[in-house]
């Protein structure tokens, strides 16, 4: 028969095992700067992805115990599906792409906002020949924009419909155009009367072709998230501490870019293959330094439902992971 002291010792060891197991379940595998957790992150060459690039370069993720490997992928639908298929741990995606994917049943969780629409980062652009003097003159005219449901097109539609002096978006003929450096040439060739352009092509197009930014899509009174980072439910449950570490490192890099325009210019020129003077002239997104925010992210499905992309109201609350200290 065991002595009382031995029974207490055994009970304490059992308790220790249980507590250790619970901690392991709640916090995921241990990691540190000396023993980092490897994570693969899919990103495109986009302004909104620059804080992640800066965080990698300055060692902010390494400081948090994360060894980040960047996987380049231009197509964000492909990136999100690659993530869900196990080809990466995190992926960057436009807000509309992520909401549409989740709405259709894809397993994604939003762990961070990558960027918000800047005041001068996207615009409805026209030729400088005076053929379209204002937004009202677009009635019955053509606007080149990406596909229906794309973020750029939805924001342009909202810009027109929210302006009492503009033509309603339903009275404009929308011409399908991809968003790239070729868009400016198509406007110059009169394939449309106006186009929707965003950085990093907007500034170059205005300067090189003498175009006019007729109306910027950003509104300083409304925060509109444009892109996010997502992971699968399984990954976030296995690595809750890594989620928090990723958020801290990303927000640290975002603060650097918000406070240091020279750092932004150098990073944009290097990662987006821009001329230094182009990087220095263009509009900069707003880089979130906290969150993710359900209130702000809810604006994405609201906009999608407004223009018929979603058939019914959709709440993002189940998708969004709260930020941790």
* Element at 39 (helix H, strand E): strand 37-43
User: Three-class SS of residue 58?
Assistant: coil
CA-wise closest residue to 316 among 300, 220, 303: 300
Query: What's the pLDDT at 71?
Result: 97
Tell me the pLDDT tens digit for each residue of 134-144: 999 999 999 99
How far apart are alpha carbons 79 and 103 in whole angstroms?
Answer: 17
Contact 242, 225 (CB under 8 A): no
Query: What's the pLDDT at 220?
Result: 59
Query: What's the pLDDT at 289?
Result: 96
Which residue bears the tokens 């507590």?
A: 19
Q: What angle do CA 12, 18, 22 make, to 5 degrees?
A: 140
In the chain, what are the domain boundaries? Answer: 37-116+223-319, 122-216
Contact 324, 290 (CB under 8 A): no
Q: What angle do CA 99, 273, 285 make, to 5 degrees?
A: 45
Residue 170 pLDDT class (50, 70, 90 cuts): very high
Tell me the pLDDT tens digit for each residue of 57-92: 999 999 999 999 999 999 999 999 999 999 999 999
Would 37-116+223-319 and 122-216 be classified into the same CATH topology?
yes
| Omega prior to 200 cis, within 30 of 0 | yes
CATH architecture, domain 37-116+223-319 = 3-Layer(aba) Sandwich (3.40)
CATH homologous superfamily for the domain 122-216: Periplasmic binding protein-like II (3.40.190.10)
Tell me the pLDDT tens digit for each residue of 219-260: 756 789 999 999 999 999 999 999 999 999 999 999 999 999
Whole-prediction pTM: 0.88
Mean pLDDT within 96-115: 96
């Amino acid at each position: 028969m065991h002595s009382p002291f031995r029974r207490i010792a055994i009970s304490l060891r059992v308790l220790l095992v249980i507590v250790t197991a619970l901690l392991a379940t709640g916090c995921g595998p241990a990691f540190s700067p000396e023993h980092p957790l490897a994570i693969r992150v899919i990103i495109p060459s986009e302004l909104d992805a620059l804080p992640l690039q800066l965080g990698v370069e300055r060692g902010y993720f390494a400081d948090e115990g994360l060894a980040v490997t960047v996987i380049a992928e231009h197509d964000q639908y492909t990136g999100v599906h690659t993530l869900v298929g196990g080809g990466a741990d995190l992926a960057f995606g436009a807000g509309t792409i992520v909401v549409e994917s989740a709405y259709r049943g894809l397993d994604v969780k939003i762990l961070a906002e990558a960027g918000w629409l800047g005041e001068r980062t996207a615009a409805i652009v026209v030729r400088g020949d005076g053929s379209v003097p204002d937004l009202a003159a677009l009635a019955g005219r053509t606007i080149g924009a990406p596909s229906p449901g794309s973020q750029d097109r939805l924001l342009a539609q909202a810009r027109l419909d929210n302006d009492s002096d503009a033509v309603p978006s339903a009275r404009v003929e929308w011409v399908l155009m991809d968003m790239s450096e070729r868009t400016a040439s198509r406007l110059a060739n009169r394939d449309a009367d106006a186009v929707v352009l965003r950085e990093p092509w907007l500034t170059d197009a205005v300067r090189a072709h003498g175009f006019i930014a007729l109306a910027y899509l950003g509104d300083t009174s409304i925060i509109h998230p444009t892109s996010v980072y997502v992971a699968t439910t399984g990954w976030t449950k296995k690595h809750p501490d890594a989620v928090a570490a990723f958020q801290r490192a990303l927000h640290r890099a975002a603060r650097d870019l918000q406070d240091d325009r020279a750092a932004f210019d150098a990073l944009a020129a290097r990662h987006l293959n821009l001329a230094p003077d182009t990087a220095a002239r263009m509009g900069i997104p707003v880089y979130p330094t906290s969150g993710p925010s359900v209130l702000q992210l809810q604006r994405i499905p609201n906009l999608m439902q407004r223009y018929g992309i979603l058939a019914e109201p959709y709440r993002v609350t189940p998708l969004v992971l709260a930020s941790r200290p």
